[in-house]
Structure 1
């Protein structure tokens, strides 16, 4: 991407559009940043060597254009009918729900998720990583201005948990598994947004770090389907350990770093007496953890079958060091957090 000047230009404007949205003090400025971000991501998605990117980019453009148009019309209606000024805060419940719905559609949160797995399936790993991480920053930031833990928000959280956990059970594509995992994590992020911006920032940072670590390894070895993971005999044990422990950390298994933000959300919601919501979130996240375990099961078996032929992928020293470093942080990061707390 960096070697191509056109791609680099669109990548910089992609980041610029998000920064415009974050720093905007009016809905029109936020809408303009979202449009710049959208029109910069479309050329990055398309690739002449992969025909599925054309379908994915068209799906993404149509959905995002509908959401952006609805957002703009909602702001205009709010200004004309409800006498809402141009600030980013909206006191009207109907208008707030309408705006939040368009932002949830942009992020791919359930029940507005129908486009997200299909678009992920048509992208390469690097563009998929951008879609899963950077493209969620601006809509979630706008969502944090007006959201509260009411019935609409709770129903969206539960829908994200149900769709994200059940949708990934019968998938064999790793990109779709990560897409449904992202929908499940969105439920936790929306719950964190209603609590505090600091907690949401922590959760999102952990999610970005773990997703980057997993996609780095998958992109290195060109893994796209489950059967490719089942025959990972050519990998050295360090990279296998890196890959599978980071998968479990993203699922939120307690010894690993990915459990820390979930722990904080559970603790804060329990203090707010939302015990039923916590129970639903935890139980459905266990289903998500099941299909993570299904991915890693073949490597954790004590006696497993190996094929006679092995595909030897020479792994560079930098890739080994990077994957090992990401794994060490992901695996032992939770143990180091009390030390960081004492230092701060």
Structure 2
């Protein structure tokens, strides 16, 4: 199974989902902070594993970074109460509150903890960290953000995400930098409206879940495993399709939300930002294509005797989703008819 569900894990998973609901439905900043704290304390038992030293180290690092961000967040919301009338101070506090929330979601330039922690987690925990754990900071960010500051952060995320992907041998770190790059798109979506962000986030979560499940199914953590394993060509094709969809190549469904965000940004005259986002997406795509191309073209003859037969009913479901991803552009054109 993708995730071993014992009663403890189920309990903490429930608290994790429940804490997000506490934060996003709270009517005060203090309530939001309490939700964030419950979220942190429920995620740590999920990721810590006494048998795995890397997981234990990752859980400690995660606790330290998130607690620092929480302390900062609490301090800044108290400052906000004192200086609510002062416009200049209010502007400064909005930047500080935004910074602590950006640190919580692993955004650049507060991203240094993110790839290190991702490296120590299982694929399921990575999926939670890259999707569910971003919901609360994003919703809180949409309440109170400094537009000019967020634009700078968007550009930084796009550039750092694209540069970080270069020369990565670990698939988990590759997905982490891909997540940082996608954050730039999500932040630009939340500047326009929460609905647009939710739309992008749902597509992004779908693509990340497919990638994490594929890597989990084949027990893959490093790039050379894609070359050495004598995989079924159907699996390699599925990987290629989903990689390209995650990068946002036009015939695939991953391009659809990006296309809509580009349209909205053009309407709001953010031309330089669009240019940077598209250029950085091209760099990401180049590395995704290089990985996929290598894994398809490499065929080690001396490893021919290693046959990997994945007997998993869910694999047919993955093929169906890959088919959906190919027909993405056809589906998306129906939205505009």
Q: Distance in 2 between matches of 1:338 and 1:294?
A: 29
For 1:273 and 1:13, locate their aligned partners in 2 and report how far apart those are by CA, in whole Å. 42
Aligned ranges 1:1-344 → 2 under 5 Å: 1=3, 3-82=5-84, 92-147=90-145, 149-150=147-148, 152-233=149-230, 235-301=231-297, 304-309=298-303, 310-342=305-337
CA shift digits 1:221-258 (9 cap, x unpaired): 1100000011232x222222112110110011111111
- Per-residue deviation, residues 116-144 of structure 1 (Å, max 9, x unmatched): 00000011111011100010010011111
Task: Tell me how far apart the structure 2 counterparts of residues 53 and 317 of structure 1 sit (CA, whole Å).
Answer: 27
CA distance in 2, matches of 1:246, 1:98: 37
Taking a change above 3 Å as real, the CA distance of residues 313 and 305 of structure 1, as seen in their structure-2 partners, is: closer
Q: Is the 8 A contact 1:246 1:331 kept in 2?
A: no
Give the TM-score normalised by the residue count of structure 1: 0.92
The separation in 2 between residues aligned to 1:276 and 1:199, in whole angstroms, is 20
Q: What is the match of residue 88 of structure 1?
A: none
The 10-residue stretch of structure 1 (8-17 or 330-339) with the greater mean CA deviation from structure 2? 330-339
Shift of 1:278: 1.0
Count of residues in Structure 1 that have an aligned counterpart in Structure 2: 333
The 3-state SS of whatever aligns with 1:42 is helix
| C-alpha displacement of 1:305 | 3.0
Following TM superposition, by how much is the alpha carbon of 1:317 offset from its aligned partner in structure 2, in angstroms?
Answer: 4.3
Q: CA deviation at 1:306?
A: 2.6
Q: Measure the CA separation in 2 of the matches of 1:153 and 1:341.
A: 30
Give the secondary-structure state (helix, strand or coil) at the position aligned to 1:140. Answer: helix
The secondary structure found in structure 2 opposite 1:186 is helix
State the 1:268 CA deviation.
1.2
CA distance in 2, matches of 1:147, 1:77: 16
Check the 8 A contact 2:253/2:327 in 1, yes or no. yes
Measure how far apart 1:92 and its partner are. Answer: 2.4
- For structure 2, the 5+ residue unaligned runs are none
Question: How many Å separate the matches in 2 of 1:313 and 1:297?
Answer: 20
**How far apart in 2 are the matches of 1:192 and 1:306?**
44
Note if contact 2:236-2:292 (Cα within 8 Å) is conserved in structure 1. no
Cα distance in 1 between the residues matched to 2:335 and 2:265: 24
Deviation at 1:279, TM superposition (A): 0.9
Helix, strand or coil: the match of 2:327?
Answer: helix
